[in-house]
A and B are shown apart, each in its own frame.
Chain A
Amino acid sequence: MLTYPFKLVTIIAEPVLEPRITQELRKLGASGFTVVEGRGEGSRALHAAEIPGINVRIETIVPLEVAERIVQHVAKSYFNDYEVIVYLSDVQVVRGEKYSPAPKSGGL
């Protein structure tokens, strides 16, 4: 089957940031996302929750230019004060048009 190259953006963050980041992903041009909750520990252990060590992993598959926008945005808004990492990986998807929506005007 024919597949298309896209970027998988993975953001691992404190749970408190989940609503904010997922909303921003949409504005930056992601057509969807998946959130998984898990356990873990980072270099700073700054979690603001009564149960420590809970992380969320937010994943989205997007075209390269959207991926770069997301990485830049996350770095600028969150790296200083929050426990957040973001990384990209290459993926091959079927139905390429599903992941490249018409860019929304404005963005962030």
Chain B
Amino acid sequence: MLDILKANLLSPIPLAFALGIFARLVKSEFSLPKDIYSALSIYLLFALGLKGGVELSHATFDEIIAPAGVTLLLGCITPISTFAAMRYLGRFSASDAAGMAAHYGSVSAVTFIAAQQFTLRVGAPAEGFMPTLLTLLESPGIHIALFIGAMQRNRQLIAAGGSAGEHGKITAVLHEVLTGRTMILLVGGLVVGYLMGENGWKSVSPFFDSGFKGALTLFLLEMGVVAGGRLGDLKKVGPFLLAFGVVMPLVHGALGVALGSWAGLSAGGATVLGTMAASASYIAAPPAVRLTLPEANPTYSLTAALAITFPFNILAGIPIYYHLAQRFAA
């Protein structure tokens, strides 16, 4: 276990991430230009989608159906468990709890990629269709969480003598989440990859495959800067959220690994599924929550997702989920 943790810490992704945090802590002026950050994320998501689509064209329906089922199940459980933990253990307001649930019910694509790379490195590569599962887990959690939040708020508004449904119509949120860059690039990439197949992949792989790990490392460097910039907020959020940001991913991760193994995924695949369940969205969820539950304080959810859970998963979580997955496989 300690060996895996150490090996993980000394691989490019965590090291670059740590360098980014360090740069921020010493108040370096370094950060990637915003447009390059966007371009890198587009490249990574589209490459992930393309490769996943090509792999999907080799997979059979029988292989995928059980993992896809447990993925959707995870997408329904994680927002509810997050909401319950925030509301009833942490005593947060319904809006803050629902906002957090949207973040933890959804998934961080970068954490997913880091887990995928980890399984490659330890010689237990995850199934090729995992990116397809990623797209399944992206949006249900956000919708369930926002639905809970909207119901709770409407009840309060009506109790206070007001009318329901002042903010954010559900169709607008649906549109926002389903047409966000992650969904377009990932789902679109999967379709393009599926249609073009192995031959098409050969023609674009010099660009999308060879540069992938380098681009990922550079992206993680910037993520370190972004997460490092949020560390100051840790003081504002209090001890409950600090613990929540570590315990919640462990619980969801263990659940994801267990369900993944049960559905027949390899140890690598279960590790990646566990990581997906453990990760918290910080790209798709924040604007959707901001527009639908404006009274939820984004400092709570973004600090937990970006400054606690993301670093935890990258530095320690992924090896832990792998360790669990090996136990389940044995």
Contact = CB atoms under 8 A, between A and B. Distances in A.
Interface of A: 14, 16-17, 20, 45-52, 54, 80-82
Contact of B291 (A20, A45, A51): A20
B283 interface: yes
List the 4 closest pairs (A to B, CB-CB), nearest first.
A81-B294, A48-B290, A48-B298, A48-B286
Contact of A16 (B34, B291, B297, B299): B291
Contacts of A80: 294-295
Contacts, number: 38
Contacts of A51: 34, 37, 226
Given A46-B298, A51-B34, A81-B295, A14 B290 contact: yes
Given A16-B287, A16-B291, A20-B291, A50 B299 contact: no
A75 to B, nearest CB: 15
Given A14-B290, A16-B290, A16-B291, A50 B298 contact: no
B14 to A, nearest CB: 19
Nearest to B282: A50
Contact of B286 (A49, A54, A81): A49
B286 A45 contact: no
Interface in B174-231: 226, 229-230
B306 interface: yes
A20 B297 CA distance: 20
B302 interface: yes
Interface of B: 34, 37, 226, 229-230, 282-283, 286-287, 289-291, 294-295, 297-299, 302, 306
Contacts of B295: 80-81
Contacts of B226: 50-51
Contacts of A14: 290
Contacts of B287: 16, 48-49
11 contacts: A14-B290, A16-B287, A17-B291, A47-B298, A48-B290, A49-B286, A50-B226, A50-B283, A50-B306, A51-B34, A82-B294
Contacts of A52: 229-230
A54 B295 CA distance: 20
A50 B287 CA distance: 10
A62 B286 CA distance: 33
Tell me which of A17, A20, A45, A46 has the highest count of chain B C-beta atoms within 10 A of its own C-beta.
A46
A4 B229 CA distance: 47
Which of B37, B286, B289, B306 has its CB near the most chain A CB atoms (within 10 A)?
B286
